[in-house]
Amino acid sequence: MAEPTPRELALSALRHEETDRIPCNFMLSPPALAKLQGHLGRDEVDEFLGNCLYLYGCSDKPLYANPDKYGPTIADQYGVVWATSHADRGYPLEHPLRSPSLQDYQFPDPLEPRRWERVPQAATLHPECLRLAVVGDLWERANFLRGLQPLLLDLREHPRFVHELLDHIAAYNLATLEGMVAYAPDGIFISDDYGLQAGLMMSPMDWREFVKPRLELLLRAAQSHGLRTMLHSCGCVREIIPDLIELGLDILHPIQPEAMDIRALKREYGRDLTFCGGVGTQQLLPAATPDEVRAEVWRTAEDMGRGGGYILEPGITIQGDVPLGNLLALVETAHAYRRRRP
């Protein structure tokens, strides 16, 4: 019998079917990618990684913008000014909404042709993967536009402004989603961080009032087209996982083990959600030995893959602080894993 393809493994995870092999996915920062390319002696690393997911879409956040190409800063289409960086994805320096008002702010056009220039070609790549169209972010985009501390204060002092702001962002993302349908993705990907290391950055009640209705709008739109849904939200989001299940979310990413007990999540919610992530990036991958990485990757695959519904991935994009030996141990162990049968 032929080995299942990465796409087939991902679909099995979504159907909560237990498989001998574990579906896996690895995203690398430019420094980590260069390290792996140097080791392999070639630019192409896709075959080595064997990813089961492929994300494509319009570029709304200038992540990993190289200072040598763009200078010390770069602005996105929303007018947010970002610091560029050789080492990481950079961070927002200037937020265009300096007061709780949209009166003088013009939202960009989600269908602006230049925004879509690379999408047709990108949509044809990696048929061996589950293909997810990136449709944007909600709370995270509001954070970039306003700044996190002012935005959190606005929840109390200017709630009408926050509702209006999130409505505009949701409409932008909905237009993006509808445009992506023409390129036949398998699903959509939303990046929208809600968590800190020990809990949500807002109260669950605030999340349910301000974020949940807009997230539901996007998930329901995707579901109406028969698309799968994946949400990236870093940190501890345990308090709202029942809400995400209620909305019909398919995949939750990246379930950072430093912020949540991933095995408890599997026990409580593994019948209803597919989890993606779970390999530590704060201590394990940067600081452990390769043998320790191998042991933990195998243990995670065994525990989280039981009963299906799991895609093995690091808790965040692999950074340049991960030694090459640990990166190789991670990928090679994930591919070597085979489930032990009783």
Range scoring the smallest mean pLDDT among 84-93, 169-178, 269-278: 84-93
Average pLDDT, integer, range 140-150: 97
Q: Say if residue 147's pLDDT is above 60.
A: yes
DSSP at 247:
T
Closest CA to 266 of 312, 201, 318, 223: 312
The CATH number that applies at residue 37 is 3.20.20.210
List, for residues 23-80, the tens digit of each pLDDT value: 999 999 999 999 999 999 999 999 999 999 999 998 667 778 889 889 999 999 999 9
Degrees to nearest 5, angle at CA 319 with 316 and 323: 120
pTM: 0.96
Mean pLDDT estimate for the chain = 95
Domain assignment present for 265: yes
Pinpoint the alpha helices (H) of 20-158.
30-40, 46-49, 67-70, 119-122, 139-146, 148-157
Residue 47 in any domain: the answer is: yes
Residue 73 lies in a domain: no
Which residues, in sequence order, are bridge partners of residue 130? 53
* The residue type at 111: L
| DSSP 8-class letter at 209 | I
203: domain range?
A: 6-61+106-336
67 located within any domain: no
Q: Is residue 34 part of a domain?
A: yes
Mapped onto helix, strand or coil, the DSSP state of residue 141 is helix
Is 74 a domain residue?
Answer: no
Average of per-residue pLDDT across 275-288: 97
Total structural domains within the chain: 1
